Amino acid sequence: MKIVGIEAIPFAIPYKKPLKFASGEVRTADHVLVRVHTDEGLTGTAEAPPRPYTYGETQESIVAVIGKIFAPQLQGLTVLEREVIHERLDRTVGNPTAKAAIDMALWDVLGQAAGLPVSGLLGGYTDRMRVSHMVGFAPAAEMVAEAERIRDTYGITTFKVKVGRHPYTDDVAACWALREALGPEVELYIDGNRGWSASESAQALRELAPLGLTFAEELCPADDVLGRRWLVRQTTIPFIADESATRPAEVTRELLGGSATAISIKTARTGFTTSQRVLGQCQGLGVEVVMGNQIDGQIGTLCSVAFGAAHRHTSRHAGELSNFLDMSDDLLTDPLRIEDGTLRVREGAGLGLVIDPEKLARYRQDH
Ligand code: MUC
Ligand code: MG
C-alpha cells in the first residue's frame, strides 16, 4: 500500500480559558491536522501541535516542512517501509511534532488495513488510563477552584501543578493551598518548565517536602548542567525530564548524566515508533515514565491514551490527558469523555477517530 499524498491542514480553535506556564501560554489551539492518503483509499489522521517555546515549530513551519520536504520524500513509499520513512524524516533535524504526526497517521493506516486497533498493535496492555489534569498559573484560590471542579466533574484525582513563577514562594503557597483543599488522597506533582534556577528549585522542594509530591519536572534548565545535576542528586522524588529529553539520544544524556531520574513520553513529539524506543530505553535503564501532555486537542489525546494504555510501564501512572477540556470545541464527531477519572481507548480499527467535516470546514485556516 503506497503513500500517495500527505495533507497538512492548519486549523484554529479558541480556548475557553488560556493555559499559562513558565515557558509560555496557549489561548488558541492553532494545530495542524495531518492526513496520510494511500493508493488503496485509506487515510490515516493525526494532529501536530506547534509549541514554539519548546521546539521552535509554528503552525506555518509545520505546514511548510510537511508540504515542501516530508510529503515529496515519502510519496511512493509503502506504509510498511517505516524504517525507510524514518530514515528520510531524520535527514531533517528538529520538527518533532510534524514528524510525529506523520508517524501516528501511518500507524492509523496500518491499523485500518489490518482491521485492528492501534493500541492493540502497540501492546494491548489495557483499554484505559487514569487521567492527570494540568493546572496552569493563576492566583492560588483559582487554581484550587479549578482542581476541585475537575475532580468533582470528571473524578480526576491526580494533578500536575505548573510552577516556575517569581517569587517561587507564590507557587509554594499554591501547592500548599491545593494540598490543604484536596486532602491527602489526591496525587500532586509539579512542572517548572525551566522557570527557576537550581537553587530556587532546591529551596522550593525543601518547602514542599511535607506535601508528598509524586514527581518534580523540569524545574530548572538542563543546560545549567552542574546546577541541574546538583539539584537532582539531592532530590528524593523522581525528577522528570520533559523538554530536555525529546529524542532517544537526549534521554540517554539526561539520565546517564544525572540530570533526570524519570522521563515524560509525549506521542505528540515522538509519535508511536520513537515513543516505543524511548519506553524501551527507560525500562532497560529502570526509570519511571509518565505520559505527558503537549497541550493536545482530542486527536492528540486519543493518540496519547492509545500508546499509554498499550504498555504496562506507561499505564502505571495517570496520563496527562485532559487539557482538551479547556478548548471551546474540537474536530471529532464523537467527543472524548473522561469518566470516573479515566479515559478509554477508542475501539475499532486504527485510531478510531472520525473528523467532523463541518467542524473542519469551520476551523480550518487555509481558505
Ligand atoms: C508540559 O508538560 O510542559 C507546556 C509546554 C510544553 O511543551 O508542554 C506543556 C506541558
Ligand atoms: Mg513539562
Locate 315 and state its grid cell: 499505564
Name the pLDDT band for 180 (thresholds 50, 70, 90): very high
What percent of the chain has pLDDT above 90? 99
Taking a C-beta distance cutoff of 8 angstroms, is the pair 50, 59 a contact? yes
Using one digit for the tens of pLDDT, what is the confidence trace for 84-137? 999 999 999 999 999 999 999 999 999 999 999 999 999 999 999 999 999 999
Residues paired with 48 in a beta bridge: 32
Using one digit for the tens of pLDDT, what is the confidence trace for 323-344? 999 999 999 999 999 999 999 9
Tell me: domain 120-344, CATH 3.20.20.120, correct?
A: yes
Q: Where are the beta strands (DSSP E) in 245-300?
A: 262-265, 288-291
Taking a C-beta distance cutoff of 8 angstroms, is the pair 139, 74 a contact? no
Beta 288-291 vs 262-265: how paired, if at all?
parallel
Give residue for cell 489561548: 27
Average pLDDT for 344-367: 96
Best mutation site among 19, 215, 294, 322 for ligand 1, i.e. most ligand atoms within 8 A of its Cβ?
A: 294
Domain ranges of the chain: 3-115+358-363, 120-344
The pLDDT of residue 57 is: 98
The CATH number of 3-115+358-363 is which of 3.40.50.300, 3.40.50.720, 3.30.390.10, 3.40.50.620? Answer: 3.30.390.10
Tell whether the model's pLDDT for residue 367 goes beyond 90: no
Domains 3-115+358-363 and 120-344 share a fold: no
Residues marked active site are found at 162, 191, 217, 242, 266, 294
Separation CA 259–CA 230 (nearest Å): 8
Average pLDDT for 19-26: 96
Using one digit for the tens of pLDDT, what is the confidence trace for 289-334? 999 999 999 999 999 999 999 999 999 999 999 999 999 999 999 9
Q: Taking the model in full, what pTM does it have?
A: 0.98
Q: Where are the beta strands (DSSP E) in 176-223?
A: 187-191, 216-217
Using one digit for the tens of pLDDT, what is the confidence trace for 230-285? 999 999 999 999 999 999 999 999 999 999 999 999 999 999 999 999 999 999 99
The SS3 of residue 157 is coil
- Which residues have C-beta atoms less than 6 Å from ligand 1? 21, 23, 51, 54, 191, 193, 242-243, 292-295
